[in-house]
């Protein structure tokens, strides 16, 4: 049977999964009976009793996977943009732009949009003149891999209101504004691309995502579900600009969005407090090497603490759980200060660079560390250069686990692929592409990585929701390479197949 993206409106059938091994539950095969969207029995030799039977031949069954931090629209768009991730210099990126324009010219009046450059370690600097030399009068917008900067040629700078900018490299809010402008496509087209991305996620065992797009997505997702996009559960985040709207509608974190059959719920209140490491705008206690004396040497602080406290208090009092973006150690300390003053729970998104004293505060305050392990693999060389001597407390996953902090794993797609197996592999191995593990003392065990990718569910149990993934290998015994390429045989959402290749 092959199913990709079960049609909208398909009801979950009474299903018997014959001969499966439960991840984390021992090697002996059992049968799993699913009914009403839940696991109703786990035992050997269960009678079908009218159920649709699937013999899984000893494959492994685990709770379905969640990606706790994605930008779903951006992920769908990036899958169609010029890939710049392999560029090792500004000149090389410009060459890729030139080659693309020669092989596939853009329509008159349109822009060429690329994604994925990382300039922190480039030997040369991005410049508008360099892009002008290959693009002529075609507007070119290149988005960095961390989304926190954009590189524009002169035509694009003029189009987006920055004609006099000296370098063409915009950072933080100006970059977000340009990225938002080039991301505007007709609703029906974007919805179709997102639907394809949902199917691709389901094919990797994903049953749900926390969507933290910067534009309010509740109604957008309701429209998509009504149109047949039913392959994932969606927790749609709320940013400050959308807070009044959501409060006026009486929605709290966890509330089901009407008309979505329970697939879309109101997500957390997301607020950004600093920049990123790759853009050298993460707010840190100490200056970045080589930037001493620069007013921006310690990165970008977006809010004073009393302002941040005000936002968290307002959101939490309305029933919205805060999710605070903090990457630098100073930003993380400020976020924890704000949580402590408000007295509410929530998460810190990224938690990349930590003061050792703040690790215990996560646990004491009940703040979740929502982390993206593949970023450690992407940023290890950047961290070694710009956070030299402190990288033992960068991406400090095991320190957090040992302190009793709850981890949630995600991708920040499109910054990393929307694939929880990739995140788990990075968390467990701290390695990629055959390189030596980076700070192996911060590796976590496979069971902790899996639980952090399933909402805390370590194994399949009776009366649990039938959000499940079927794999060819045991995730708890797989190697790094095997985890990254984990063969997924099937995914069920509330007992309904969203992907199957059995």
pLDDT at 27: 82
pTM of the model: 0.93
pLDDT at 11: 61
pLDDT at 5: 34
Q: What is the DSSP string of 421-446?
A: HHHHHHHHHS--TTPPPSSGGG---H
pLDDT at 10: 52
Tens digits of residue pLDDT in 380-439:
999 999 999 999 999 999 999 999 999 999 999 999 999 999 999 999 999 999 999 999
Q: Provide the token pair at 350.
A: 């990224």
Cα–Cα distance for residue pair 205/64, rounded to 1 Å: 6
pLDDT averaged per 10 residues, the chain (length 502)? 37 90 93 97 95 97 98 95 97 98 94 96 97 97 95 98 98 95 96 98 98 96 98 98 98 97 98 94 94 91 98 98 98 98 98 96 98 97 94 97 98 97 98 97 98 96 98 97 98 97 89
Residue keyed to tokens 């969005």: 257
Q: What is the mean pLDDT of the chain?
A: 95
Q: Provide the token pair at 43.
A: 């035992």
Cis peptide before 272 (omega within 30 of 0): no
Report CA dihedral (347, 353, 358, 361) to the nearest 10 degrees: 20
Q: What is the DSSP string of 28-89?
A: S-EEEEEETTEEEEEETT---TTPEEEE-TT-EEEEPEEEEEE-HHHHHHHTTSEE-TT--S
Of 300, 345, 332, which is closest to residue 176 (Cα–Cα)? 300
Of 299, 303, 246, 297, which is closest to residue 269 (Cα–Cα)? 246
- Work out the percent of the chain whose per-residue pLDDT is above 90: 94
Cα–Cα distance for residue pair 449/478, rounded to 1 Å: 12
Cα–Cα distance for residue pair 427/442, rounded to 1 Å: 8
CA contacts within 13 A on the Cβ side of 376: 34
């Amino acid at each position: 049977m092959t199913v990709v993206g079960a049609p909208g409106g398909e009801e979950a059938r009474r299903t018997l999964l014959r001969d499966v091994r439960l991840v984390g539950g021992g090697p002996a095969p059992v049968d799993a009976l699913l009914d009403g969207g839940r696991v109703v029995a786990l035992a050997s030799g269960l009678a079908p009793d009218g159920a649709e039977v699937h013999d899984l031949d000893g494959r492994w069954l685990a709770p379905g996977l969640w990606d706790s931090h994605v930008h779903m629209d951006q992920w769908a768009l990036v899958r169609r943009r010029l890939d710049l991730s392999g560029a090792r210099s500004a000149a090389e990126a410009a060459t890729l732009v030139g080659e693309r324009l020669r092989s596939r010219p853009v329509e008159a009046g349109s822009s060429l949009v690329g994604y994925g450059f990382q300039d922190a370690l480039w030997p040369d600097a991005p410049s508008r003149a360099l892009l002008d030399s290959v693009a002529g009068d075609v507007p070119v917008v290149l988005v960095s891999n961390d989304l926190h900067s954009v590189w524009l040629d002169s035509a694009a700078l003029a189009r987006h209101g920055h004609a006099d900018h000296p370098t063409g490299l915009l950072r933080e809010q100006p970059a977000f504004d340009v990225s938002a402008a080039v991301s505007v496509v007709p609703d029906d087209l974007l919805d179709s691309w997102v639907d394809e991305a949902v199917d691709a996620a389901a094919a990797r065992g994903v049953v749900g995502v926390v969507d933290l797009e910067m534009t309010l997505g509740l109604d957008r997702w309701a429209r998509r579900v009504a149109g047949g996009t039913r392959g994932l559960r969606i927790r749609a985040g709320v940013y400050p600009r959308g807070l009044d709207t959501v409060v006026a509608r009486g929605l709290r974190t966890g509330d089901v969005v009407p008309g979505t059959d329970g697939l879309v719920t109101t997500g957390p209140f997301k607020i950004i407090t600093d920049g990123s490491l790759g853009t050298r705008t993460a707010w840190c206690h100490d200056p970045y090497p080589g930037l001493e004396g620069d007013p921006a040497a310690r990165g970008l602080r977006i809010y004073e603490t009393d302002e941040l406290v005000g936002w968290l208090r307002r959101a939490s009092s309305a029933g919205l759980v805060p999710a605070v973006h903090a990457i630098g150690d100073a930003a993380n300390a400020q976020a924890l200060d704000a949580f402590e003053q408000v007295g509410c729970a929530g998460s810190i998104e990224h938690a990349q660079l930590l003061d050792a004293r703040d690790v215990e505060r996560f646990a004491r305050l009940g703040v979740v560390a929502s982390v993206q392990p593949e970023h450690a693999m992407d940023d290890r060389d950047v961290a070694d250069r710009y956070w030299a001597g402190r990288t033992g407390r960068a991406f400090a996953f095991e320190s957090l686990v040992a302190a009793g902090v709850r981890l949630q794993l995600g991708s920040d797609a499109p910054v990393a692929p929307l694939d929880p197996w990739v995140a788990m592999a990075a968390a467990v191995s701290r390695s990629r592409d055959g390189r030596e593990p980076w700070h192996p003392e911060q590796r976590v065990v496979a069971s902790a990585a899996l639980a952090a990718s399933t909402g805390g569910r370590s194994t399949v149990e009776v009366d649990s929701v039938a959000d499940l993934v079927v794999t060819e290998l045991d995730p708890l015994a797989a190697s790094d390479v095997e985890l990254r390429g984990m063969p997924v045989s099937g995914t069920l959402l509330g007992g309904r197949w969203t992907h199957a290749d059995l």
